[in-house]
Amino acid sequence: MKQKPSYPFWFCLLIVALLVALLINLSLGSVSIPFKQTLTIIFGGIPDKESWRYIIMDYRVPKALTAILIGGGLAVSGALMQTLFRNPLAGPFVLGISSGASLGAASLLMGSGLLAGYTTVQLTNDFSLAIAASIGSFLVLLVVMIVANRVRDTMALLIIGLMFGSITAALVSVLAYFSNAEELQRFIFWSFGAVGGLSWNQLGILGILVFIGFALSIASAKNLNAFLLGENYAKSLGVSIKKSRYAIIIATGLLAGGITAFAGPIAFIGLAVPHLTRQVFHTMEHKVLIPAVFLYGAVLMLLCDTVAQLPTSANVLPINAITSLVGAPVVIWLLIRKRKLFF
Amino acid sequence: MEERKHIIKVANLAVGYGSKPICSSINFSLEKGAFCAIIGANGIGKSTLLRTLAKLQERLDGTIFLDSLEQKVHSPNSLSKTLSVVLTEPIVTKNLSVKDLVALGRQPFTNWLGQFTPEDISVIQRSLETFDLATLAERKCFELSDGQLQRALVARAMAQDTPIILLDEPTTHLDLYHKVQIFTLLKQLAHQHQKTIVFTTHEIDLAIQLCDNIVILDGKTNPFASPCQLIEKGCFDTLFPKEIVKFDAKTGTFKVNE
Q: Do B92 and A230 touch (CB under 8 A)?
A: yes
Of A222, A232, A283, Cβ closest to residue B89: A232
- Across A22-26, A161-165, A330-334, the highest mean pLDDT is recorded for A22-26
Chain B residues in contact with A285 (beta carbon < 8 A):
100
Of the pLDDT bands very low, low, confident and very high (cuts 50, 70, 90), residue A15 is: very high
Q: pLDDT at position A4, please?
A: 52
Length of chain B measured in residues: 258
For residues B212 and A259, give the distance between their C-alpha atoms in angstroms, rounded to a whole number: 60
Chain A residues in contact with B91 (beta carbon < 8 A):
228-230, 233
Q: Identify which of A77, A71, A75, A68 has the alpha carbon closest to the alpha carbon of residue A97.
A: A77
Distance from CA of A238 to the nearest CA of B (A): 5
Phi then psi for residue B254, to 5 deg, are -95, 140
* CA dist list (Å): A253 to A99, A135, A137, A216, B251: 12, 9, 6, 11, 63
Determine how β-strand B6-17 pairs with β-strand B20-31: antiparallel
Sorted by where each begins, the domain ranges of chain A are: 37-338
For the CA atoms of A70, A75, A77, A82, the dihedral, rounded to the nearest 10 degrees, stands at: 160
Has residue B254 got a pLDDT over 50?
Answer: yes
Length of chain A measured in residues: 343
Mean pLDDT value of segment A85-99: 76
- In this predicted model, what pLDDT tens digit does every residue of A212-248 receive, in sequence order? 999 999 999 999 999 999 889 999 999 988 888 888 8
Tell me the torsion sign for CA atoms A73, A87, A241, B118: negative
Q: pLDDT at position B1, please?
A: 41
Chain A residues in contact with B104 (beta carbon < 8 A):
225-226, 228-229, 237
Chain B residues in contact with A219 (beta carbon < 8 A):
112
Q: pLDDT at position B155, please?
A: 95
* CA dist list (Å): B245 to A204, B31, B248: 75, 33, 10
Mean pLDDT value of segment B52-60: 93
- Between A221-225, B144-148, B239-243, the lowest mean confidence (pLDDT) is in B239-243
Q: pLDDT at position B59, please?
A: 93
Q: Do A226 and B76 touch (CB under 8 A)?
A: no
Residue type at A196 in one-letter notation: G
Of B54, B97, B110, Cβ closest to residue A236: B54
Q: pLDDT at position A326, please?
A: 87
Domains and CATH numbers, chain B: 1-82+166-219 (3.40.50.300), 90-161 (no CATH)
**Which chain B residue shows the shortest CA-CA distance from A237?**
B80
Mean pLDDT value of segment B100-129: 93
**Which chain A residue shows the shortest CA-CA distance from B166?**
A236
* CA dist list (Å): A232 to A114, A215, A239, B10, B49: 46, 26, 10, 22, 15
Instruction: Provide residues of A within 8 Å CB-CB of chain B.
Output: 1-3, 86, 219, 221-222, 225-230, 232-233, 235-240, 278, 282-285, 287, 342-343
Chain A residues in contact with B138 (beta carbon < 8 A):
2-3
Distance from CA of A222 to the nearest CA of B (A): 6
**Which chain A residue shows the shortest CA-CA distance from B133?**
A1
For residues B98 and B156, give the distance between their C-alpha atoms in angstroms, rounded to a whole number: 9
- In this predicted model, what pLDDT tens digit does every residue of A175-206 receive, in sequence order? 888 888 888 888 888 788 878 878 888 899 89
Distance of CA B86 to the CA centre of its chain: 7
Distance from CA of B248 to the nearest CA of A (A): 39
B203: left (phi over 0), alpha (psi -120 to 50) or beta: beta
Contact call for residues A319 and A49 (beta carbons, < 8 A): no
Of A222, A239, A282, Cβ closest to residue B113: A222
Which of B51, B56, B82, B92 is the best substitution to test chain A (most A C-beta atoms within 10 A)?
B92
Contact call for residues B243 and B232 (beta carbons, < 8 A): no
Q: Please, which residues have CB within 8 angstroms of residue B210's CB and are 6 or more apart in sequence?
A: B35, B183, B184, B187
**Which chain A residue shows the shortest CA-CA distance from B75?**
A238
The answer to whether the predicted template modeling score (pTM) of the entire model surpasses 0.80 is yes
- In this predicted model, what pLDDT tens digit does every residue of B165-207 receive, in sequence order? 999 999 988 899 999 999 999 999 999 999 999 999 999 999 9
Q: pLDDT at position B225, please?
A: 94
| CATH class given for the domain over A37-338 | mainly alpha
Listing DSSP states for A52-118 in one string gives HHHIIIIIIHHHHHHHHHHHHHHHHHHHHHHHHTT-TT--TTTTTHHHHHHHHHHHHHHGGGTSTT-
Q: Do A228 and B99 touch (CB under 8 A)?
A: no
Helices (H) and strands (E) in chain B, counts: 9, 12
Q: pLDDT at position B34, please?
A: 95
Q: Please indicate whether residue B28 or residue B246 has the higher confidence score (pLDDT).
A: B28
Q: Please indicate whether residue A289 or residue A155 has the higher confidence score (pLDDT).
A: A289
User: What average pLDDT does the structure give for chain B?
Assistant: 91
Other beta carbons less than 10 A from residue A247's beta carbon: 18
For residues B193 and B32, give the distance between their C-alpha atoms in angstroms, rounded to a whole number: 10
Instruction: Provide residues of B within 8 Å CB-CB of chain A.
Output: 51, 54-56, 76-77, 79-81, 83-85, 87, 89-97, 99-101, 104-105, 107-108, 110, 112-114, 125, 134, 137-138, 142, 160
Distance of CA B60 to the CA centre of its chain: 21
Contact call for residues B169 and B202 (beta carbons, < 8 A): yes
DSSP B140: B
Q: Do A237 and B107 touch (CB under 8 A)?
A: yes
Q: pLDDT at position A17, please?
A: 96
* Stretch (H or E) spanning B136: none
For the CA atoms of A316, A318, A321, A322, the dihedral, rounded to the nearest 10 degrees, stands at: 40
- Across A76-90, B49-63, B231-245, the highest mean pLDDT is recorded for B49-63
Q: Do A284 and B89 touch (CB under 8 A)?
A: no
Q: pLDDT at position B208, please?
A: 94
Has residue A115 got a pLDDT over 60?
Answer: no
DSSP B143: G
Model ipTM? 0.92
DSSP B117: P
Q: Do B56 and A232 touch (CB under 8 A)?
A: yes
What are residue B86's DSSP bridge partners? Answer: B167
The count of CB pairs under 8 A between chains A and B is 86
Residue type at B218 in one-letter notation: D
DSSP A253: I
For residues A339 and A332, give the distance between their C-alpha atoms in angstroms, rounded to a whole number: 10
- In this predicted model, what pLDDT tens digit does every residue of B213-226 receive, in sequence order? 999 998 888 999 99
Residue type at A164 in one-letter notation: F
DSSP A256: I
A86: left (phi over 0), alpha (psi -120 to 50) or beta: left
Q: Is A237 exposed, middle or buried (0-12, 13-18, 19+ CB in 10 A)?
A: buried
Q: pLDDT at position A76, please?
A: 96
Has residue A158 got a pLDDT over 80?
Answer: no
For residues B28 and A234, give the distance between their C-alpha atoms in angstroms, rounded to a whole number: 27
**Which chain B residue shows the shortest CA-CA distance from A283?**
B96
Distance from CA of A237 to the nearest CA of B (A): 5
Has residue A112 got a pLDDT over 70?
Answer: no
Contact call for residues A97 and A134 (beta carbons, < 8 A): no
Chain B residues in contact with A225 (beta carbon < 8 A):
104, 107, 114
Portion of chain B with pLDDT greater than 90, in percent: 75
Has residue A123 got a pLDDT over 80?
Answer: no
Rg of chain A (C-alpha set): 20
- In this predicted model, what pLDDT tens digit does every residue of A16-51 receive, in sequence order? 999 999 999 998 888 888 888 888 888 888 888 888
Contact call for residues A276 and A245 (beta carbons, < 8 A): no
Distance from CA of A221 to the nearest CA of B (A): 7
* Stretch (H or E) spanning A226: helix A221-227
Q: Do B76 and A86 touch (CB under 8 A)?
A: no
Which of A85, A225, A233, A282 is the best substitution to test chain B (most B C-beta atoms within 10 A)?
A233
Q: Please indicate whether residue A30 or residue B81 has the higher confidence score (pLDDT).
A: B81
Contact call for residues B198 and B217 (beta carbons, < 8 A): no
For residues B186 and A276, give the distance between their C-alpha atoms in angstroms, rounded to a whole number: 40
